A and B are shown apart, each in its own frame.
Chain A
Amino acid sequence: MSSVLLLLAEVETAAVKQAVEGLAIVEPIVKEAAVAFPWANLGYLVAAVLFILGIKGMTHPRTAVRGNQLGALGMLLAVVVTLVATKVGYWVLLPGMIAGAAAGVWLAKKVQMTQMPQLVALFNGFGGIASVLVAGAELLKKASTEVGPSAVDTAAAVDPGVAGVATALAGLIGSVTFTGSLIAAGKLQELPQLKKAVSFGGQQLANAVLFAVALVLVVGMHDGSAIEFFPLVLVSLVLGVLLVLPIGGADMPVVIALLNSYSGLAASAAGFIINNNVLIIAGALVGASGLILTQIMCKAMNRPLTNVLFGKMEASGDAADADEVYAGKIKSTSAEEVAMLLDGVQRVVVVPGYGLAVAQAQHAVRDLASLLEDRGVTVEYGIHPVAGRMPGHMNVLLAEADVPYEQLKEMDEINPTFSQCDVAIVIGANDVVNPVANTDPTSPIAGMPILNVYEARTVVVIKRSLSPGFAGIPNPLFAADNCLMFFGDGKQTLVDLISALKEG
């Protein structure tokens, strides 16, 4: 029974849409729509199932390619169904489709693996703004139908209050996602204008006020009124900028994951506006995915989300002074010395950090590992969940260099094995191997799970200098008895090490 009503409502919507578009012959279109729309909804259902199967494929590297293809197939199906069912003039749709597709292909082909975080941030932002634009266009459509004779029919299809609030939420979430993602992408690209974490007095207050204004405007739209939309979008755009500006470097994985979630929620809100299940389902899936990743990242830093978003990482008053920690205890090493050290070892664990990405050293690491493996050494990689600038960043880089994924070990898996490790090589990582997290409860990184490299027989740290990591604190590991500092550029030091190994 309800499905019949649903069908009727849809037929009416379709008819109204066509009428509004100024098409003269209404009756045959009604008939056509009556045939097309149930099929359309079935098509959308299949698309939604394909999305779910697609994400399910992501649970294993072997099935992931197929999964991604299923997702793409779902999207293609949804688009084709929409094009067939609506009979909107293609000349209106094609320019945007071609322009967008061309830009998408260009970006996807051109991007380097080290730039992946900023690209994902950018795509997030585009998804967000698209949802805002859909909400805006739907408002315009509604405004134009209200002057027409069929206003009542449209109202029957989507409750104006529901549509109003959904429009407002799509505007709010989508706009925050858009500007927030652009700022995040700019920071990740290390644009000079965004290099410093910008903060000013009363920033929290400004954010709170803006958010309150936005909420008032959202509530104002619950009766289907439209004038609040434009100011709401403006306020939200500013809010997105202010929220992300003060967040820096190592907190980026959390921000990207959260914006990922928002872009999904914005799409879901757009689904409520136009009464479309596939938007609601796909948006909800992405929203859940982003939330889970956010949660994993926060847990890996032992910081609540609010602390990442609004708090600062503040060193406690009695934090150890760098000179005090390092004075006279740093042992600098050379390629020849490390090559000798690696002679006759059984097990080596490589711990990569963001420095690996900066130095583009992933291929050099792989070359070193191959050389060691040829000599019968077991090589594994210990990956901290927040190493790099987005979830899984290190894994992608190492995969690019043909490192088999079986060798990439998660923190919980590799930690108990460091005591059986002859040499741990830390490349461009700092805070994630800082033992202070375990020992000093007053440290800003207290309680953060770390990779226990200090348990290895010898630790070699490849790093440009003794400068602190994101947390801004010295690392006692560097001064430990079993630790050797190999100063230099990540890639160059590895190349030197490889030639020293070959000569030795």
Chain B
Amino acid sequence: MDIITGLTIFVLAIFIGFEIITKVPPTLHTPLMSGSNAISGITLVGALLAGSGFWGNFLGFLAISFAMVNVVGGFLVTHRMLGMFQKKR
């Protein structure tokens, strides 16, 4: 994949993000933030692919740990918050 393809994907994704996120009501801004934060933990995929050699594996281990906290904690806490918005009328 050349740089232009990568940039194209990046820029188009930014535009999709702007289009959807401007429609999120202020009531949900905190869950949006924690949920999107969990999505930014996608760097976990990079972490899983990263390790090689002792130091590489060591950095990979740290990266996986941090990214997992971000992903698991982020989605769970968002779920907890959103449950509160769903409760009885």
20 extra interface residue pairs, beta carbon distance < 8 Å, beyond A75-B39, A93-B64, A390-B33: A61-B27, A92-B57, A96-B63, A100-B70, A100-B72, A104-B69, A104-B71, A107-B69, A111-B77, A119-B34, A127-B70, A134-B63, A140-B55, A267-B42, A277-B1, A279-B43, A280-B13, A284-B9, A286-B39, A288-B21
Q: Does A4 contact B (CB under 8 A)?
A: no
In the assembled complex, which residues on chain B have CB atoms less than 8 Å from the CB atom of A6?
A: 1
Q: In the assembled complex, how far is the CB of residue B73 from the closest CB belonging to chain A, in whole angstroms?
A: 3
Contact, CB under 8 Å: B6 / A272: yes
In the assembled complex, which residues on chain A have CB atoms less than 8 Å from the CB atom of B83?
A: 65
Q: Does A196 contact B (CB under 8 A)?
A: no
A61-B85, A274-B46 given as contacts; is B33 within 8 A of A104 (CB)?
Answer: no
Q: In the assembled complex, how far is the CB of residue A451 from the closest CB belonging to chain B, in whole angstroms?
A: 13
In the assembled complex, which residues on chain B have CB atoms less than 8 Å from the CB atom of A86?
A: 48-49
Partner-A contacts on B (CB < 8 A):
1-3, 6, 9-11, 13-18, 20-53, 55-57, 59-89
In the assembled complex, which residues on chain B have CB atoms less than 8 Å from the CB atom of A52?
A: 16, 20
Question: Which of B45, B60, B87 sits near A279, CB closer than 8 Å?
Answer: B45
**Closest A residue by C-beta to B76:** A108
Contact, CB under 8 Å: B59 / A136: yes
Q: In the assembled complex, how far is the CB of residue B51 from the closest CB belonging to chain A, in whole angstroms?
A: 6
What's the tally of chain A residues with a CB closer than 8 Å to chain B? 115
Q: In the assembled complex, how far is the CB of residue A364 from the closest CB belonging to chain B, in whole angstroms?
A: 17
Q: Does A345 contact B (CB under 8 A)?
A: no
Partner-B contacts on A (CB < 8 A):
6, 9, 17, 20-21, 44, 48, 51-52, 54-56, 58-62, 64-65, 67-69, 71-72, 74-75, 78-79, 82-83, 86, 88, 92-93, 95-97, 99-101, 103-105, 107-109, 111, 113, 116, 119-120, 123-124, 126-127, 129-131, 133-134, 136-138, 140-141, 144, 159, 162, 256-257, 260, 263-264, 266-268, 270-290, 292-293, 296, 383, 385, 390-393, 395-396, 399-400, 402, 404-405, 408, 410
Q: In the assembled complex, how far is the CB of residue B79 from the closest CB belonging to chain A, in whole angstroms?
A: 6
Q: How far, in angstroms, from A48 to B9 measured CA to CA in the complex? A: 11
Q: How far, in angstroms, from A275 to B71 measured CA to CA in the complex? A: 21
Contact, CB under 8 Å: A285 / B13: yes
Q: How far, in angstroms, from A116 to B31 measured CA to CA in the complex? A: 10
Q: How far, in angstroms, from A124 to B70 measured CA to CA in the complex? A: 7
In the assembled complex, which residues on chain B have CB atoms less than 8 Å from the CB atom of A67?
A: 35
Contact, CB under 8 Å: B37 / A286: yes
A99-B68, A264-B40 given as contacts; is B17 within 8 A of A285 (CB)?
Answer: yes
Q: How far, in angstroms, from A452 to B62 measured CA to CA in the complex? A: 50
**Closest A residue by C-beta to B32:** A58
In the assembled complex, which residues on chain A have CB atoms less than 8 Å from the CB atom of B9?
A: 277, 280-281, 284
In the assembled complex, which residues on chain B have CB atoms less than 8 Å from the CB atom of A383?
A: 26-27
A93-B48, A292-B21 given as contacts; is B10 within 8 A of A64 (CB)?
Answer: no
Question: Which of B25, B33, B48, B55 sits near A79, CB closer than 8 Å?
Answer: B48
Contact, CB under 8 Å: A392 / B30: yes
Q: In the assembled complex, how far is the CB of residue B85 from the closest CB belonging to chain A, in whole angstroms?
A: 5
Q: How far, in angstroms, from A136 to B61 measured CA to CA in the complex? A: 12
**Closest A residue by C-beta to B53:** A144
In the assembled complex, which residues on chain A have CB atoms less than 8 Å from the CB atom of B20?
A: 52, 55-56, 59
Q: How far, in angstroms, from A404 to B30 measured CA to CA in the complex? A: 16
Q: In the assembled complex, how far is the CB of residue B21 from the closest CB belonging to chain A, in whole angstroms?
A: 5
A264-B36, A286-B39, A391-B26 given as contacts; is B56 within 8 A of A140 (CB)?
Answer: yes
Could you name 21 residue pairs across A and B whose Cβ atoms are closer than 8 Å?
Answer: A52-B16, A60-B28, A62-B86, A71-B39, A72-B75, A82-B48, A96-B63, A97-B64, A101-B72, A108-B80, A131-B43, A136-B59, A257-B33, A263-B37, A263-B40, A264-B39, A264-B40, A280-B13, A286-B40, A292-B21, A293-B32
Contact, CB under 8 Å: B84 / A399: yes
Q: In the assembled complex, how far is the CB of residue A370 from the closest CB belonging to chain B, in whole angstroms?
A: 12
A108-B73, A111-B77, A130-B43 given as contacts; is B10 within 8 A of A268 (CB)?
Answer: yes
Q: How far, in angstroms, from A142 to B26 measured CA to CA in the complex? A: 45
Question: Which of A71, A141, A273, A292 sits near B38, CB closer than 8 Å?
Answer: A71
Q: How far, in angstroms, from A104 to B71 measured CA to CA in the complex? A: 8
Contact, CB under 8 Å: B14 / A392: no
Q: How far, in angstroms, from A60 to B83 measured CA to CA in the complex? A: 13
Q: How far, in angstroms, from A344 to B50 measured CA to CA in the complex? A: 67
Contact, CB under 8 Å: B79 / A285: no
Of the listed residues B32, B62, B86, the one surrounded by the most CB atoms of chain A closer than 10 A to its CB is B32
**Closest A residue by C-beta to B34:** A120
Q: In the assembled complex, how far is the CB of residue A410 from the closest CB belonging to chain B, in whole angstroms?
A: 6
Of the listed residues B57, B62, B64, the one surrounded by the most CB atoms of chain A closer than 10 A to its CB is B64
Question: Which of A59, A138, A396 sits near B30, CB closer than 8 Å?
Answer: A396
Contact, CB under 8 Å: B64 / A260: no
Contact, CB under 8 Å: B17 / A137: no
Question: Which of B37, B41, B60 sits near A120, CB closer than 8 Å?
Answer: B37
Contact, CB under 8 Å: B77 / A280: no
In the assembled complex, which residues on chain B have CB atoms less than 8 Å from the CB atom of A292?
A: 17-18, 21-22
Q: How far, in angstroms, from A435 to B26 measured CA to CA in the complex? A: 23
